[in-house]
């Protein structure tokens, strides 16, 4: 399979899996859907192979989810006619490979990921998930909100030793911290082909810790955990309150750092905001670099949608629909991409064209959950404070440049951030004609392209209004 085809299949599976997780719930999804590995598409027959680790799990998924999975794949890729769910043909060899990375076949990217992220021996430390092939640095869209975290993540994965360790990624749900964890793993494997990588959630770390404790296998647990070259731990906030697990993680961090190995943690809050964490562990989590991923602004949300849409070519989504989604779905990037996926899937299933009306009709739940009503009054007040002019200037007839330009910016933002029409906006600005508003919107759009200061002003105001 060509690399590009493998990446596209993995990206489609990530979208399908995410949708099933919402439908089935976390427990069912984690147990039966997440272990699925995507094979190849037979171009002649249109059959797509899906692999599971055991005959029992393959039969269980086939009996209960075959039709749902097949429909989802047909929506995602028109060339898929049917799916074939079966046991992975190389599954019996995987445990042996995982015991020793030096025996991993050369130039086998899929095996590298399986070895790095999977089970270490039959009674060892296991991971509930591996590295997602679609979550790479190439697929991560950057903007002001996340560029620091992305650059730090790339440094952590580079060939040369990073200047900081551990790296702590802090971001709210759905803003990209898990994506960066997986991207670090992929890039690190490319830079260090024989490396041993482990990725897990803090919750899974605790489960494995307790299992090893009950089975009197703590020595094996510690030895295997500390044998990794890169440790990636997601959702570290869930290790709160477990004193013994915290202590073991603390010792592991110290042991790995002493050997010059790399550690990356991710959480939805800063280290100082983690309740119930032992002070010594808190100190270790904070000692490297804490990189904050801010909420994506409207420009970044638009870039993300455009990047996502490029995979659906030649399907066309009008600019006004992309603008609408980027402006309205603001809570997190995951919901934003989910909204686009749902809209495209509905259009393909029904044969309708993607339009603004279709988006408003079919994404009601997502839009309602995200919509924070920004008013023209709020925009005017924020713009006046930013430019330090009196609020009355929004409606005045004065033509001095010091008040005209802020007024035009406020008109532009009113059109971008509210559903109001040009005439409605004009009435809120001293009863001005709609043509005046149209002129202001076009002028500011043009200035943003040519004038970096104007673009910076608008970006700053957008962040204030959307926060």
Q: Which residues are annotated as a binding site for ATP?
A: 174, 176-178
- The 3-state DSSP class for residue 332 equals coil
Residue 44: C-alpha distances to residues 72, 82, 260, 317, 382 (Å): 20, 12, 50, 30, 60
User: What's the Cα-to-Cα distance from 207 to each of 123, 132, 219, 221, rounded to whole Å?
Assistant: 14, 22, 16, 12
Run of H or E including 84: strand 82-87
Q: Which positions make up the binding site?
A: 174, 176-178
Report yes or no: 374 and 465 within 8 Å, Cβ to Cβ.
yes
Distances (CA, A) of 225 to 17, 217, 229, 233, 329: 29, 12, 10, 12, 40
d(CA 166, CA 25): 32
Work out the angle between the directed axes of helices 319-328 and 401-417 (0-180°, nearest 10): 90
Q: How far apart are CA 148 and CA 153, in angstroms?
A: 9
d(CA 202, CA 245): 10
Whether residue 314 is preceded by a cis peptide bond, meaning omega within 30 degrees of 0, is yes
Sign of CA dihedral 132, 137, 139, 143: positive
**Cα 15-192-7 angle, rounded to 5 deg:** 20
Contact 335, 366 (CB under 8 A): yes
Q: Which of 289, 237, 283 is nearest to 263 (CA)?
A: 289
Q: What 8-state DSSP symbol labels residue 315?
A: -
Q: Which of 49, 50, 32 is nearest to 41 (CA)?
A: 49
Reference 332, options 145, 142, 178, 174; nearest CA is 174
- Burial annotation 55-82 (CB, 10 A radius, 16+ → b, else e): eebbeebbeebeeebbebbbbbeeebee
Question: In 287-433, which residue ranges form alpha helices assigned H by DSSP?
Answer: 298-309, 319-328, 333-350, 356-362, 364-370, 376-387, 401-417, 422-428
250 Cβ contact list (under 8 Å, min separation 6): 278, 280, 281, 284
Q: Please state the separation of Cα 190 from the chain's center in Å.
A: 21
Q: Is 231 exposed, middle or buried (0-12, 13-18, 19+ CB in 10 A)?
A: buried
């Amino acid at each position: 399979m060509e690399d590009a085809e493998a990446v596209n299949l993995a990206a489609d599976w990530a979208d399908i899996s995410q949708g099933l997780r919402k439908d089935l719930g976390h427990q069912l999804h984690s147990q039966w859907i997440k272990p699925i590995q995507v094979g190849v598409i037979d171009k002649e027959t249109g059959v797509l192979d899906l692999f599971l680790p055991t005959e029992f799990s393959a039969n269980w998924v086939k009996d209960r989810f075959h039709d749902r999975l097949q429909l989802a794949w047909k929506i995602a890729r028109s060339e898929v006619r049917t799916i074939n769910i079966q046991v992975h043909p190389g599954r019996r060899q995987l445990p042996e490979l995982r015991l020793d990375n030096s025996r991993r076949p050369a130039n086998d990217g899929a095996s590298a990921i399986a070895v790095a992220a999977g089970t270490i021996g039959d009674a060892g430390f296991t991971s509930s998930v591996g590295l997602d092939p679609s979550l790479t640095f190439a697929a991560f869209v950057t903007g002001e909100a996340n560029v620091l975290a992305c650059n730090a993540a790339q440094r952590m994965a580079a060939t040369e030793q990073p200047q900081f360790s551990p790296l702590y990624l802090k971001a709210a749900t759905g803003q990209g911290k898990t994506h960066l964890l997986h991207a670090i793993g992929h890039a690190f494997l490319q830079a260090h082909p024989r490396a041993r990588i482990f990725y897990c959630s803090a919750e899974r770390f605790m489960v494995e810790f307790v299992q090893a404790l009950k089975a009197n296998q703590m020595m094996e647990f510690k030895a295997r955990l500390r044998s990794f070259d890169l440790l990636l731990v997601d959702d570290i906030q869930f290790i709160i309150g477990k004193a013994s697990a915290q202590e073991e993680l603390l010792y592991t961090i110290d042991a790995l750092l002493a050997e010059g190995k790399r550690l990356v943690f991710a959480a939805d809050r800063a280290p100082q905001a983690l309740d119930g964490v032992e002070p010594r562990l808190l100190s270790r989590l904070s000692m490297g670099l804490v990189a904050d991923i801010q909420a994506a602004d409207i420009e970044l949300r638009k870039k993300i949608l455009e990047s996502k849409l490029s995979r659906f070519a030649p399907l066309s989504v009008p600019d006004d629909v992309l603008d609408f989604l980027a402006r309205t779905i603001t809570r997190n990037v995951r919901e934003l991409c989910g909204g686009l996926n749902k809209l495209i899937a509905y259009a393909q299933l029904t044969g309708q064209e993607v339009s603004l009306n279709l988006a408003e009709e079919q994404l009601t739940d997502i839009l309602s959950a995200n919509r924070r009503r920004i008013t023209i009054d709020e925009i005017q007040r924020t713009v006046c404070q930013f430019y330090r002019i009196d609020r009355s200037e929004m409606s005045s007839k004065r033509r001095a440049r010091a008040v005209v330009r802020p007024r035009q910016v406020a008109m532009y933002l009113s059109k971008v951030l509210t559903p109001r029409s040009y005439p409605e906006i004009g009435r809120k600005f001293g009863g001005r004609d709609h043509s005046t508003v149209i002129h202001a919107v076009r002028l500011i759009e043009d200035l943003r392209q040519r004038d970096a200061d104007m673009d910076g002003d608008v970006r700053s105001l957008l962040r204030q209004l959307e926060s």
